[in-house]
Amino acid sequence: MTSAPEQEEAGRDASGRSTNGRPAAPAVVRPRTAGDDGPASGRGFLVRPGSPMPLGAHCSVGADGVAGTGFALWAGDAEAVELCLFDADGHETRLALTESADGVRHGFVPGVGPGQRYGYRVHGRWDPWTGERRNPAKLLLDPYARAVDGEFTLPPEVYGHVRDWPEQHVADTVRDDRDSAPYVPKGVVVADAGPDAWRGDRRPGTPWADSVIYELHVKGFTRLHPGVPERLRGTYAGLGHPAAVGHLTRLGVTAVELLPVHQFAHEDHLLRRGLRNYWGYNSIGWFAPHAGYAATGTAGQQVAEFREMVRALHAAGIEVILDVVYNHTAEAGELGPCLSLRGIDNRGYYRLSRDARRYADFTGCGNTVHVLQPQTLRLVTDSLRYWVTEMGVDGFRFDLASALARTHHEVDMLAPFLSVLAQDPVLRGVKLIAEPWDVGAGGYRTGGFPPPWAEWNDHFRDAVRDFWRGALPDVRALGYRLSGSSDLYDWGGRRPYASVNFVTAHDGFTLHDLVSHERKHNAANGEGNRDGTDDNRSAHHGTEGPTDDPAILALRRRQLRNLLSTLLLSTGVPMLVAGDEFGRSQGGNNNAYCQDGPVGWVDWSLLDDPSWRELCALTGRLIALRRAHPVLRRRSFFAGRPRSADGLRDLAWFSARGTEMTERDWYAPGSTLGMYLSGRDIPDRDELGRRVTDASLLAVLHAGEQPVEVTLPGPPWATAYELALDTSLERQSAEPGTLHGAGSVVRVPGRSVLLFRVVGEGG
């Protein structure tokens, strides 16, 4: 405990009463450590003024021709900033950055080059009641650090307050002056990519409408891959290996969407339970590739390794999209660690509540990044541009994007963040995908983001799941989802590819578990099975979880074929999840965010099973079918009106009777729907200005348990129909399908999709 004079210094009198109008707080804990007698002298280093731009650490040549590194940190109204350099043995040298411009502290240090480890100590007010949380005892990661060496383990020393203070309701106000430097990772100086870094690389530039996205985890995708050398498994180099890339090209996907690869930290509550953050939605370094996924080293080598991975994927025609988390950081709420932004300028980087001790939390993760602040918006957009220009990525999926679109009180589609991206010459040309919700009031905005944004379409997910488990009251919702969700996206110039269609994602059941479990099984997460959603819209088809019953197993595989077919035959941009194409299971865990092991990793041994190989082959066949048929990749919404004298439309819906759906049919309970897509009425032109035409297709989706007799539409819709797909079959034939005359009756097996190519449309 502190003495009476120390209490007075902290804003209390000797009796502990507040002297500044705020509630009294416990005494400040100030353990003494080596080096407490002040900053190191910095012998051997000379700090020159340098420049406030660019922010971060950048190698260059000084005015005298001597190479060095310029350092620049926006620190607001900090009283002082020390640049801390670390040698190979961890010895620290502190250098004062005395130059300041517009809140940026800067300096140039000759002799410092790539590979140098560094951090910052920021001096200033410790006043949690007003949101000030600077503590120079804490070594802080440069927000612009382009590589990070080490891993965050979160011992008590890395907290700005006394983490284990007995009275937790005021613990965040008790400053902890123990030095955190021995316990935290360091930033690493990295050389700029240079003008020749991407020479010879060609971005695929896949049009939105032609895209098929494949969501994967860098580590989990390759950790068990038998074709990837052991030393490369679970790394960027492993994902860029021919064995991993080969699976993607055989499948036919056009883009990988990588779960977060920004440097992240593990949450304290997980570390205490012996678990780790696996998914990575806990970012702390928005410029740095996560060091844990590097095979070649963490002293800057991870940057080059990531670039080589991107090159390998680009060479195979595959784009790289990053799942990015700019809505919150790993510093969590007021009881979280002090790792970077909190200690630099807490008020400048985070949204605070009216009680400035607390954080406005629209993310469910303890804090919300304050992108209304110019310097914070600059940090985020600088990071995005860096990943495009220097790291080669092709787009971003924004976690909880509504939190980034909030102004002072509500989500606003004219918010600065959205406006800046829309006009930025670099960012407006890449793929931008919103997860269109957050956890705050008014945060659910599916269908609300403006061009050029695409969105994860959870309406598609829910309608398709409900249809195939027999829970839709009628087929209206399914019709909208199959045809591009015009009810959500046909406004403001948006196109069908604004809808990123998915049935599963990293968050929730895998596709296999979706047809095998009706309840989540998350006990391994250590939260009493309370975590994860209870709204799974799933069905186990006879028994919960694993079974040896051949009939149940066959039905589950059929449902997998139905779900994949529905996804890949729908208008919009389909997104698959790694391993779903061959039956990957998480054992019913629908929130495997902390399962860095076999539960979360892709099990490639499943492909030894012929039935799972067939499912994988079907997925590839469906993607190839989509690629071959422009009618499945429309760039504009269907008109649904006759375009020619014969009365045919670009989109028509049919009942099992072979007649067009009436108003009564749409509202009546039903489990069968026919969708007719006209290939002659595509309003698109190719690069030479020629009309795009295609064969017409008829898809019949039947979710009922029993077979149904379906009459195929007669002339002028077709003269005949050639069967192209039947999901009731375990194996699809490569031979031309059976021909059925127009108006004939076909027997559609229970729970199946039949796809026909139309012969003789219009007459």
- Whole-number Å distance between alpha carbons of 298 and 556: 44
- Whole-number Å distance between alpha carbons of 225 and 4: 63
Tokens 């002799």, residue located: 111
Mind giving me the DSSP string for 613-663? HHHHHHHHHHHHHHHH-GGGS-SS----SB-STT--BSEEEE-TTSSBPPH
604 phi, psi to nearest 5 deg: -75, -15
Q: What is the dihedral of CA 524, 525, 528, 530, to 10 degrees?
A: -130
Of 390, 399, 580, 726, which residue is the catalytic one? Answer: 399
Q: Are 723 and 738 in contact (CB under 8 A)?
A: yes
**Residue-wise over 312-333: b if at least 16 C-beta within 10 A, else e?**
bbbeebbbbbbbbbbbbbbbbe
Determine whether 435 is an active site residue: yes
For residue 528, which amino acid is it?
G
Residue 262 tokens read as: 């920004």
Q: Would the CA dihedral through 210, 215, 218, 219 be positive or negative? A: negative
544 phi, psi to nearest 5 deg: -80, 120
Determine whether 210 is an active site residue: no
Residue 699 tokens read as: 């898809």
Of 99, 157, 435, 665, which residue is the catalytic one? Answer: 435
- Whole-number Å distance between alpha carbons of 543 and 588: 13
Q: How buried is residue 155: exposed, middle or buried, by Cβ count under 10 Å (0-12/13-18/19+)?
A: middle
HEC profile for 319-388?
A: EEEEEECCCCCCCCCCCCCCCCHHHHHHHHHECECCCCCCECCCCCCCCCECCCCHHHHHHHHHHHHHHH
- Whole-number Å distance between alpha carbons of 145 and 347: 21
How many CB atoms are closer than 10 A to CB 746?
A: 16
Would you please indicate which residues are annotated as catalytic (active-site) residues? 399, 435
